[in-house]
Structure 1
Amino acid sequence: MAHGEKRGYDKRARKWRYRGRYKLPDGKWGSVSRDDNGQPFYTERAAEQYAHGLEVDVRRKQFINPRDGRTTVGAWAETWLPSIEVAPLTEKEYRLRLKNQILPQWGGVAIGELSPTAIAAWEKKLRGTLSKNYADAVMSTFRTMMDDAVAEKLRGDNPVSARKSGRRGKYKPKPKDEKAIATPRQVLLIARNALEMRGLNEYAIVLTSAYTGLRIGELAGVHRDQLTLKDTERGARLHSVQQSQYVGGVFTEIDNKYDSGRGLILPPFLAVLLQQLLDSRPGSEWVFTAPKGGRLLRGGDWYAETWKPIVAGRAPRGVVRGARARTGIRPVLGVEGLTPHGLRHSQKVWLDEGNHPKVAVEARMGHELPGVEGTYSHVTLSMELAIAAHLQRLWEESLRVVVDRREFGPYPPFEAPRRKRSPKRLPNSI
């Protein structure tokens, strides 16, 4: 039975301290010397009552051992990470968020001592220095980790609030989605810029991404034998079954995002274009390659040196300090800030404008319809062929020249290449 015991004299408070003793679920005796607020027990009755409450939790199978709450966030992270089952890239992002944001602040704090108010203050500071999407991702990771800590009975509640029970603080309107999308004509102009800068491969990547909705990583994982370009009245098809990504520093093929492997009917013009691309590189295993024919990689250099100029333009340049001359690229107006993923979003808008069945549109995007609609709706061949015919019409319309509309802006201002300084050489030691 729970009871209190005298432990020692607190010289500062000039009082005796007590601890509560209670039976653990395994029949052994446990002890507790502080309450939920971290205050010591200064009377035998206070210690006994608290210990009695713990025994009640044991009988109701709601017991959380106060000692388990002493586990630090850092120690729990080491246990938690190997237990989650997510995609390799998602696990990599979890580790980076923990390493760069969560553990520097909370790694040495015991889970039982995490304060919702302190975490809310830290979140406010975090959102003042990071982008909204990254701050949301960090808090989501922290919240998930604490959900599992509650399930493991390291504490009774999750201190990382989801803020779903009610709004607190100053009203903030929901930000509008300002993601840039492109019309078929603008996609054509971007593709032509890509053709001028990097040739047929880059031209085909832009058009294939826009007219199939595939992500760049999924395009990088398409093999030659996954193309069926001969139309046998069922449409030419591209089969996307994996994506190429760097996992642990190794170029790896993994499942598509959300396991969304699918076969897509291609509009006729795109089937012809991809056949031309294959014929230009008969020995290549992959459909889309790097400039020199190797594995396709899209990193920060490509975004800065290729994607940005084909959308935002670049100034013409003569021979400067030994660098070769280059032609200018005019920016495509109306798509400022467009990302490669924006091509995928653009196709979704085109299909919605065409009033195609929602189930067929979501299937082409690699999504699943939730609820009853997703259970009872199915994609038919006629739906897919109708989408391909609609995309073909959009392509043909984009080829029409519109003289009365400005499509290209002026060249961006020229910036001379910066000269790299050679490192200073230290004098030879004598």
Structure 2
Amino acid sequence: MARIDQHVHIEWRGGTCRVKWWSGEYLPNGRKRYESKGGFTDEEEAFRHGQDKLYEIRHGTHVKNRDGATLMTDWLDDWLAAMDHAHLTERQYRSVIENHIRPYFKKQNASVADIDVLAYRAFKKHVHKTLKEGSARNVMMVLGMVLDDAVPRLIKTSPVERTRRRGKFKKKPKERKKDMAPEAVEQLARNGRTYFGDAGYAFFWTMAMTGMRPSELYGLTREYCYPNWPASDPRLDPDEEERYEDDAARYGAADGLMPAIRVERQVQYEGSELGFFPPKYHSSRSLVIPPFLASLLVDLLKSHDSKWVFPAIQGGCLGAVNFDYKYWRPIADGAEERSGPRVRKPRQAMPAVPTFKGKRLYLLRHGHKSWLDEDGHSKFAIESRMGHEVPGVEGIYSSVTVPMEQAIMKKLQERWELLQERLREESGS
């Protein structure tokens, strides 16, 4: 005889019994929607199971049978569709899922509920066996987010094992950096000129004097560069009218105004197309530049008709080439002379720059911040120039004033002038 509760029903079928419990939902015809589980041989055990399910439903921790059976591949589709991150972050997450997570669990035909602690550890072992440490850590981070977001609809708890720090503290190794001397930047700039003309010389001094990110420099176009900006600003955002007017009164090529570059976008690939995207962390900003750099940019823009301030060798965007490999490595590490009747494009030898040999281009940006720190500028002015958000009260109350920007211009110009004095002394002129 079936045991009946208000919301739990026990039914015997042959030698086993099945428990049914009300899911708290109704069918389209108005009848209650039930879930069930069979295979019990003890009626009391089955009844307690039904009561436990009612408890979970009341406390919002219940996973419906049909949700618990959701395949991992289907959940990955839903998770990707719901992403709302910056372009590069989404591209990275999608790549990790399509290349590592989806193939593994699709092969197993696994549901989300099948991924318990043991399945999680098995995947972790597989990833660390096939990938380098940094890549494996990145894959596990993405899988952790995917599984965490499945709680509580698809699984009650996430199987992700969080690392707890125990035992002796172990300091992470830090990248070794050398002080960035103006002489090192000058040699990079000269190598850049040898490699891709006046654009190369101006490129490296612009990065050293502004701290712009590489992709921001690749995507810098005439309308956002001195001497055209801010008069040439497209003014695309109607909510920024006040900022446009303030910029026009503060920056420009006219007497009494400060020369500046506007960082409004970067270039990145989406699929096979190179396009404009907001700068990292949406860190749009105006960057004052010292007079010598302003003159360099004026001469550079007069020397070519490309829309890109720093055109590549073939005239296109630097973002379309593998800059790190094709440009940066020979410029920083040095390269032999190219000459002879069979050489299509002869080139002088380029000496290695010890400060940057084997190092990342990004360290030019780091060096710019070090210069600002050495010169004693305010933390807020420095972080704003680098495109960073300043947390707390300081970030709310502070602002970058004209005297702050003038001080930055002055100190950067002094570095350049001291360099020129030393170069003249070395040459004996």
* TM-score category, normalised to shorter length: 0.7 to 0.9
Amino acid at match of 1:294: G
1:85-104 superposed matches below 5 A: 85-104=84-103
Q: Equivalent residue for 1:206?
A: 204
| Distance change in 2, residues 1:83/1:364 (3 Å) | same
Residue 314 of structure 2 aligns to a residue whose secondary structure is: coil
In the alignment, structure 2 segments of 5+ residues that lack a partner are 1-6, 26-31, 228-252
| Residue 193, structure 1, aligned to residue 199, structure 2 | no
| Distance change in 2, residues 1:323/1:214 (3 Å) | same
Q: Equivalent residue for 1:233?
A: 256
Moved more, 250-259 or 315-324: 315-324
- Normalised by the length of structure 1, the TM-score is 0.81
| Residue 83, structure 1, aligned to residue 89, structure 2 | no
Contact 2:195/2:347 (CA < 8 Å) preserved in 1?
A: no
Q: CA deviation at 1:311?
A: 0.6
Q: Equivalent residue for 2:57?
A: 58
Aligned-pair identity in percent equals 34
Residue 159 of structure 2 aligns to a residue whose secondary structure is: coil
1:13-412 superposed matches below 5 A: 16-26=15-25, 27-33=32-38, 41-107=40-106, 108-123=109-124, 125-127=126-128, 129-150=130-151, 153-163=153-163, 166-167=164-165, 173-178=170-175, 180=177, 182-229=180-227, 230=253, 232-281=255-304, 283-300=305-322, 302-319=323-340, 326-401=347-422
Residue 134 of structure 1 aligns to a residue whose secondary structure is: helix
| Residue 2, structure 1, aligned to residue 8, structure 2 | yes
Whole-angstrom distance in 2 between the partners of 1:372 and 1:69: 46
Q: CA deviation at 1:135?
A: 3.2
Q: CA deviation at 1:127?
A: 4.2
After superposition, the CA RMSD in angstroms is: 2.7
In the alignment, structure 1 segments of 5+ residues that lack a partner are 9-15, 34-39, 406-430
CA offsets 1:208-227 (integer angstroms, 9 cap, x no match)? 12211112221232221222
CA offsets 1:218-237 (integer angstroms, 9 cap, x no match)? 12322212224326434101
| Distance change in 2, residues 1:389/1:111 (3 Å) | same
Amino acid at match of 1:374: G
CA offsets 1:319-374 (integer angstroms, 9 cap, x no match)? 49666654322211132332222211221122122221111111001111112221
Contact 2:35/2:65 (CA < 8 Å) preserved in 1?
A: no
Amino acid at match of 1:226: Y
Contact 2:226/2:297 (CA < 8 Å) preserved in 1?
A: no
The answer to which structure has the higher helix fraction is: 2
Residue 24 of structure 1 aligns to a residue whose secondary structure is: strand
Contact 1:32/1:66 (CA < 8 Å) preserved in 2?
A: no
Whole-angstrom distance in 2 between the partners of 1:100 and 1:204: 39
CA offsets 1:155-202 (integer angstroms, 9 cap, x no match)? 122222343xx326x867232220546333222211111111211112
Amino acid at match of 2:170: P
Q: CA deviation at 1:251?
A: 2.2
Whole-angstrom distance in 2 between the partners of 1:127 and 1:186: 39
Contact 1:211/1:347 (CA < 8 Å) preserved in 2?
A: yes
Whole-angstrom distance in 2 between the partners of 1:127 and 1:349: 37
Contact 1:200/1:277 (CA < 8 Å) preserved in 2?
A: yes
- Normalised by the length of structure 2, the TM-score is 0.81
Whole-angstrom distance in 2 between the partners of 1:336 and 1:49: 70
Residue 20 of structure 1 aligns to a residue whose secondary structure is: strand
| Distance change in 2, residues 1:269/1:133 (3 Å) | farther
